Amino acid sequence: MDIGELKKQSDLSYNIAVAKRNALEKAHSRLVVVYDEHLFRADAETIALVKTLGETHSPLYVLDSNNNPVEISDPDDFLKKLTERNQEAISSYHQMSKTFEKRGD
Amino acid sequence: MKKGILLFCFDTVDHKYHKILERCVHLIKKNLKLEITIVTNFDTYTHLKPLGFVNYKFIEPELGNAKNGKEWKNVDRHMAYELSPYDVTLVMDIDYFPFTDNLRQFMDTKYDFLISKDAYDLTDRNSFDHRRFSIIDMVWATVFVFKKGKKAKRIFDMIKYVKSYYSYFLDLYRIYDRRFRNDYAFAIALQQANGFLNYDTLPIRIPTLPPDCDIMKFTDEGIVWQYNDQINCTEDQDVHVLNKEVANV
């Protein structure tokens, strides 16, 4: 492989890496959810916490993204909203990732 | 409760900001679907194409600030509280393009004032880590939300005070950049008004394209840009574009 081809591959790898990172950032932005007038991240940690605590506690008390305590009166509804948003954001990122794989082939 | 978006736009000798505003308003109507009030002067207004249902507030912008040797009419943001006709207001830079509805939900929180502390460099160069240029965290006044009430009023009163003695506060907080920047004025005021403690923030990083990126294409869905010999794009993601030539794309 000559140096021109190597440079081309390197540029392509760079472009894919930047695009993939931006797609992940886009997913992170989309994970922010407002529930009961508070801000949350619909990430794996929040979902696991609400799922676990929701099995034994109702109402349940959690911290929002600014560490303010919030009473969640309907944990099932909260969990549903979190998982919906999480899967919307991550599935979009998944689709984008597939296109990056094709570009990198 | 009345909710809406407040935008500031003043043309300068060097930049036709009204063209950027037209793009921004179009995307707000498409994605955020909130009422809009534009703070501008009559000269800028006369250049605007018809934007549909939009409110206007006319003021004469305070002059005297400059960026890279060019006129920069950015000093009037401290008047957002008085100028806003809304109970809950989202203030946005006109070069922040909302390709999503992500910001809309921030109008429905209990917080009195929300602003982001972080920006994200879409070219992956981490060029917005300004922490080392001052002894306080900078905030990004590009996008913020406030709810009218005692607390928000106190913050805006403090911003006015900081603006009045800006050079003193620059020295106090050892801020390297000597121009008036809303980002620092807001950061100082928030710290002072909150008793030098933490304050509530938006848990987002502002996706930003640095000024050395040329905008190649601008559609309703996203942006294509060139940096050096690399071309990249983003779709369905809000973008803050720092290159004012976006007006001419």
Above pLDDT 90, what percent of chain B? 74
- Are A25 and B231 within 8 A, CB to CB? no
> Taking residues A28-38, what's their average pLDDT?
96
Above pLDDT 70, what percent of chain A? 97
pLDDT at B171: 92
| Phi then psi dihedrals of residue B216, to 5 deg | -90, -40
Residues A44-85 have pLDDT tens digits of: 999 999 999 999 998 999 999 999 999 999 999 999 999 999
- Are B200 and A66 within 8 A, CB to CB? yes
**Cis bond before residue B61 (omega within 30° of 0):** no
Architecture of the CATH domain B3-212? Alpha-Beta Complex (3.90)
- Please give the C-alpha separations between residue B218 and each of A16, B23, B233, B246, in angstroms, as whole numbers: 20, 9, 10, 8
pTM of the model: 0.92
**Distant-in-sequence, close-in-space partners of B144: CB < 8 Å, separation ≥ 6:** B90, B91, B113, B114, B115, B116, B186, B202
CB B39 within 8 A of CB B6: yes
CB B114 within 8 A of CB B147: no
ipTM of the complex: 0.89
pLDDT at A104: 62
How many angstroms away from the CA of B3 is the closest CA of chain A?
Answer: 15
Residue ranges covered by each domain of chain B: 3-212
Q: Is pLDDT at A105 greater than 70 in this prediction?
A: no
pLDDT at B136: 86
- Are A22 and B229 within 8 A, CB to CB? no
Residues B116-135 have pLDDT tens digits of: 999 999 998 877 776 678 88
pLDDT at B61: 87
Query: Smallest Cα–Cα separation from B44: which of B2, B13, B81, B77?
Result: B13
Of residues B216 and A100, more confidently modeled: B216
Measure the CA–CA gap between B183 and B175, rounded to whole angstroms: 11
